[in-house]
């Protein structure tokens, strides 16, 4: 037994549909991975290799949990995303092998303090406080690829208070799941328990206290949270 001088942090995990828990190591996120969203954020989607940022594992907010409106922001945005769960780690994973490293998938939200992110962009500063704040990563139940396969296409949609605000198809990703894993594993060694939020389609916008967000990824599942 290690002689810890403070209590060690708990292991963060995501419940699996049908039972069990997926333990989470790191949370990677892909930026600007749908062309129409890249354009709405003011960049050219055709010229950019994938880029990544991170959230702490304990920023995850399990399904149906309330999301407190975060401090220091007046512009909290939703970003509806497919989440990939890595079951087998590796470095320099080939695209052709990439799906073998995937344990499963979930629907998730990359909640963003857009005002802080925009200020950071303008000043060339890190995005962390715009992206990686407490409970900034709502996530639905995990589903194993052994049951659902690997969704390369299908509806990805978010409703706020019952009204559709984001709708697209997984096939519209600029970098698909295989390419994303291949690229990211060339930058860092992926490990079991890593999650990858794969980017959001167009239609990102602000939410207010009281708003109910209900997201769905066809063939994967749902994510639901209310801003409080
Ligand atoms: Mn995002």
Mean pLDDT computed over 181-199: 98
DSSP string, 45-97: TTS---EEEEE-GGGEEETT-EEPPPTT-S-EE--EEEEEEESS-BSS--HHH
What span, in angstroms and rounded, lies between the C-alpha atoms of 178 and 74?
36
pLDDT for the residue 95: 97
> 64: pLDDT confidence band, cut at 50, 70 and 90?
very high
For residue 7, what are the CA distances in angstroms to 2, 4, 12, 93?
A: 11, 6, 15, 36
pLDDT for the residue 197: 98
> 38: pLDDT confidence band, cut at 50, 70 and 90?
confident
pLDDT for the residue 141: 98
Which residue in the block uniquely carries the two structure tokens 């990703």?
173
Retrieve residue 87's tokens: 């079951």
In this predicted structure, the answer to whether residue 1 has a pLDDT above a threshold of 90 is no
Q: How far is the CA of 91 from the centre of ligand 1 (A)?
A: 23
Query: Which domains does the chain carry?
Result: 13-226 (3.90.850.10)
What span, in angstroms and rounded, lies between the C-alpha atoms of 156 and 171?
10
Q: How far is the CA of 32 from the centre of ligand 1 (A)?
A: 7
Of all residues in the chain, what percent carry a pLDDT higher than 70? 100
pTM over the 0.85 mark: yes
> 2: pLDDT confidence band, cut at 50, 70 and 90?
confident
Q: How far is the CA of 195 from the centre of ligand 1 (A)?
A: 13
What span, in angstroms and rounded, lies between the C-alpha atoms of 29 and 24?
14
pLDDT digits (tens, 9 = 90+) for 127-159: 999 999 999 999 999 999 999 999 999 999 999
pLDDT digits (tens, 9 = 90+) for 70-117: 999 999 999 999 999 999 999 999 999 999 999 999 999 999 999 999
Q: How far is the CA of 7 from the centre of ligand 1 (A)?
A: 32
Is the distance from CB of 12 to CB of 60 less than 8 angstroms? yes
What span, in angstroms and rounded, lies between the C-alpha atoms of 128 and 145?
30
Q: How far is the CA of 197 from the centre of ligand 1 (A)?
A: 7
For residue 30, what are the CA distances in angstroms to 7, 9, 17, 228?
A: 33, 26, 25, 27
Mean pLDDT computed over 26-44: 91
């Amino acid at each position: 037994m290690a002689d810890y001088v403070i209590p060690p942090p708990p292991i963060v995990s995501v419940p699996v549909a049908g039972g069990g828990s997926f333990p989470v190591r790191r949370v990677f996120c892909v930026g600007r991975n749908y062309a129409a969203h890249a354009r709405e954020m003011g960049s050219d989607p055709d010229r950019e290799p994938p880029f990544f940022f991170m959230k702490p594992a304990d920023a995850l907010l399990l399904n149906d949990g309330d999301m407190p409106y975060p401090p220091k922001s007046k512009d909290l945005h939703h970003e509806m995303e497919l989440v990939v769960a890595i079951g087998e780690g590796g470095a320099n994973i080939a695209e052709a092998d990439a799906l073998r490293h995937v344990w499963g998938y979930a629907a998730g939200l990359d909640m963003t303090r857009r005002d802080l992110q925009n200020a950071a962009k303008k000043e060339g500063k890190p995005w962390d406080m715009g992206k990686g704040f407490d409970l900034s990563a709502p996530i639905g139940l995990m589903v194993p690829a052994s049951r659902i396969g690997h969704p390369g296409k299908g509806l990805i949609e978010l409703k706020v208070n019952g009204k559709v605000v984001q709708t697209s198809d997984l096939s519209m990703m600029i970098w698909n799941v295989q390419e994303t894993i291949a690229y990211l594993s060339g930058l860092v060694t992926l490990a079991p328990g890593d999650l990858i939020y794969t980017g959001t389609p167009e239609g990102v916008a602000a939410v207010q206290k009281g708003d109910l967000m209900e997201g769905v990824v066809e063939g994967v599942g749902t994510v639901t949270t209310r801003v409080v």
